A and B are shown apart, each in its own frame.
Chain A
Amino acid sequence: MPSLKDLKVRINSVKNTQKITSAMKMVSAAKLRRAQGQAEAARPYAERMERVLASVASTVQRRESAPALLAGTGKDQVHLIVVMTSDRGLCGAFNSSIVRQARRLARELRRDGKTLKILCVGRKGRDQLRREFANEIIGTIEGVGKPRLNYDEADKIAQRIRHMFDRGEFDICTIIYNKFKSAITQIVTTQQLIPFAPAGAANEDADPELASYEYEPEEDAILADLLPRNIGMQIYRALLENAASEQGARMSAMDSATRNAGEMINRMSITYNRTRQAYITKELIEIISGAEAL
């Protein structure tokens, strides 16, 4: 049976842990709000970009002279997977769910005999993937979004990917990130970045308005300008979603940690009180039986 002092020490240490987790929860709640605000602010640009791109792409696709970023290289031998995770842990299953998805995709590609390249954004993803795919990881980008995520950071990543594509280092690029649904739910999303598939491409024929634009310069030149920008935007959006998801995941993880600590403290306090009473009773019995013996 643990002594009273041991119990006291344990209760205090759990109490300290609880203070930390509840503070972390509040911090990530505040950060989540900010991340959501940022994601909200990025929406107008993304929407317009998508609309313009869909309309330009629809006219070019018909002429079958589409640039490689849109049409692909015609091969699917070399795959680049961009795995977006966080730099920090203590956020529940956030990182491991992304890594699990990445691992599954990577194994599938490997089985099909494709060449694989992995670019990690965030330290946690690299740490977890390093064991199995040490030779495939071509680089890690750390410290994204500190102190504040901005477009330039996303564009730097996009530039790196574009350079690689221009040099013909891969044929197909896929990004894996967590899409933010709510603080409790994040959806692991796999999105093909290159060649790019416009969201509205399927039903553009139904919308005659889309094709009625004049273009200056002609469509091909606009598209050549637009597609690289779009990659930057897609990555920026994925990073924003990821940032919000990370904070959401951390918030709910810390919430349940705080609750668990509370339960633990209750349980241990009961044991502590019982032990204390047992000691008192024992001492009383000793005193009484001592007095009787006289």
Chain B
Amino acid sequence: MPDTVKFELVSPERLLFSADVESVVVPGTEGDFGVLPGHARLISTVRPGVISVFQGGKVTDRIFVEGGFAEVTGAGCTVLAEHALPVAEIQRDQALQAIQDAREDVEDAKDDETRKEAMKTLEVAEARLQAVDVVVY
């Protein structure tokens, strides 16, 4: 059994990240899950959150995704996400502003449909702020 997993992060526009890594932690809808070599075949949806890539026992890359889904096979893990951004590139004040905007949108929403949309945006915005604020160990 190989001792690395092939991790790929794909957006519709291009292949964002592709490398053989030690392990990777993906924020699944029903909880985070770590992928090590030989993981069972799994398809899961992904909630807005941070994907952590582990190399040599340390987190080497932290990438924020706005949701999507993940496919895990014995050989690797592929995450398909429409929008992804390295955590280091998130601007804290911009994230705060986005939350405020989203909150206002939720309040201003006139019907259920737009409110649901706005709630989703708010959720993403809050997850983005959390991604910046969480301490990495």
Q: Is A138 an interface residue (CB 8 A)?
A: no
Whether the Cβ atoms of B11 and A55 lie closer than 8 Å is: no
Identify which of residues 43-102 in chain B touch chain A, using a CB-to-CB cut-off of 8 Å.
43-45, 68-69, 71, 78, 80, 82
Which A residue sits closest to B81, measured CB to CB?
Answer: A45
Interface residues on chain A, size class: 20 to 34
Chain B interface, >50% SS class: strand
Q: Given the known inter-chain contacts A48-B80, A151-B82, please indicate yes or no for A41 contacting B13, CB distance below 8 A.
A: yes
Whether the Cβ atoms of B12 and A42 lie closer than 8 Å is: yes
Q: Given the known inter-chain contacts A45-B11, A45-B80, A150-B13, please indicate yes or no for A217 contacting B43, CB distance below 8 A.
A: no
Cα–Cα distance between A127 and B135 once the two chains are bound (Å): 56
Whether the Cβ atoms of A217 and B10 lie closer than 8 Å is: no
Q: Is A233 an interface residue (CB 8 A)?
A: yes
Query: For A226, what are the chain B residues with a Cβ–Cβ distance below 8 Å?
Result: 45, 69
Cα–Cα distance between A217 and B33 once the two chains are bound (Å): 13
Whether the Cβ atoms of B82 and A216 lie closer than 8 Å is: no
Q: Is B42 an interface residue (CB 8 A)?
A: yes
Q: Given the known inter-chain contacts A41-B14, A155-B82, please indicate yes or no for A217 contacting B30, CB distance below 8 A.
A: yes
| A58–chain B nearest beta-carbon distance, Å | 12
Cα–Cα distance between A44 and B113 once the two chains are bound (Å): 32
**Which residues of chain A have a CB within 8 Å of any CB of chain B?**
38, 41-42, 44-46, 48-49, 51-52, 55-56, 150-151, 154-155, 163, 212-217, 221-222, 225-226, 229, 232-233, 236
**Which residues of chain B have a CB within 8 Å of any CB of chain A?**
8, 10-15, 28-30, 33, 40-45, 68-69, 71, 78, 80, 82, 113
